[in-house]
Amino acid sequence: MRGWEVHLTGEVIGGFGDEPPDGIASVTPFPVLGPPGFAARRLIPRLRATAREIGPDVVHAHWLTSFGWIAAKARLRPLVVSAWGSDLLRAPALVRHRNRSALRAADVVLADSRHLADEALRIAPATRTEVVNWGVELDRFSPADERERAAIRARLGLGDGPVVLSTRDVKPLYNLPVLIAAFARVRAAHPDARLVLKHPQPALPAELDAELDRHGVRDATLVQGRTDLDELVALYRAADVLVSIPDTDSSPRTVWESLACGCPVVVSDLPWARELLTAGGALTPVDEEAVVAAIGALLDDAPARRAAADAGRALVEARMDRAAEMDRVDALYRALAGGAGRAPSYP
């Protein structure tokens, strides 16, 4: 952890077992908040008390509308706040008010694209923003050779045909019905194609499950819920194309992880992608016809697909190395802890 003693406080979904994860000094769980509301206010004194007990040199709050806002109301300093995307880009009126409070209280606001940072500045013009990405562990997320790739596909029962992968959530924001409908049409041209729907929920919602039957692709679809990181890497390595077509987004890790593993991407045409995704796949409107065309262009042209895979990996190596990005965060922390920011405060 670069010499930092890290204490984790917040919602713990699923738990960590009896001991904190490796590298974490302590975990202080709070009740799951759900949508921001009056429940969040009751956590302010608890967070303040936790900060007094630990005495941190820096407080880093993730997700503006919940813990960013709670840390701001608790008056914890110095404060780093990370915007994640939808917390700023899809914010209703109440959430915008909370975001403004969090942004104004923060010593530094981290965003993973210039577009997201600019949205923070639009809401709170005096905010200090830094564009820092989550980054990718380049050794862990790496391409497989053909033998390993074939073994992964055999283990998962994916066969030898093209594999289309989604690793996004099942919320309407991510447009999985559009992907399922597009895949059905792709399969007409590639009868041996398979679709993998990897999602983080306990089960696929009934309405999405019904879409598989409606489009006749159930027998060609592998639905996979929560998995460990090694299995996620295996899915990237097995796939021919990753499709990620949300309505709003900002530099999602899944896209960069896929590219690092040598899997080209089809991504919705959003500002972050125009800014950062200069190689490795295609941008598309969130439209069935356009998504079919973008997937087909990669599946139908093996040399172009291999070129996109190589270019995507090179882009990740050049711009998304996790070690380099975390070095930048470390430097920010040390500047704040060393007196460049406000003095630590836990009232």
Residue 128 pLDDT > 90, yes or no? yes
Please give the pLDDT value at position 74.
Answer: 93
> For the segment 215-251, what is each residue's pLDDT rounded down to a tens digit?
999 999 999 998 899 999 999 999 999 999 999 999 9
Residue 259 pLDDT > 90, yes or no? yes
> Mean pLDDT throughout 76-87?
93
Q: Are 268 and 190 in contact (CB under 8 A)?
A: no
Least confident segment among 10-19, 165-174, 276-285: 10-19
> Mean pLDDT throughout 282-297?
98
Please give the pLDDT value at position 38.
Answer: 58
Please give the pLDDT value at position 106.
Answer: 96
- Please tell me which residue, 97 or 131, carries the higher pLDDT value: 131
Give me the sheet containing 79-82, strands edge to edge: 59-62, 79-82, 108-111, 129-131
Please give the pLDDT value at position 13.
Answer: 60
Please give the pLDDT value at position 340.
Answer: 47
pTM above 0.85, yes or no: yes
Going along the chain from its start, the domains and CATH numbers come out as 6-135+322-340 (3.40.50.2000), 146-319 (3.40.50.2000)
> For the segment 13-25, what is each residue's pLDDT rounded down to a tens digit?
655 556 777 888 9
Q: How confident is the model at residue 206 (pLDDT cuts 50, 70, 90)?
A: very high
> For the segment 31-65, what is each residue's pLDDT rounded down to a tens digit?
776 555 556 777 888 899 999 999 999 999 998 98
Residue 163 pLDDT > 70, yes or no? yes
Q: How confident is the model at residue 10 (pLDDT cuts 50, 70, 90)?
A: confident
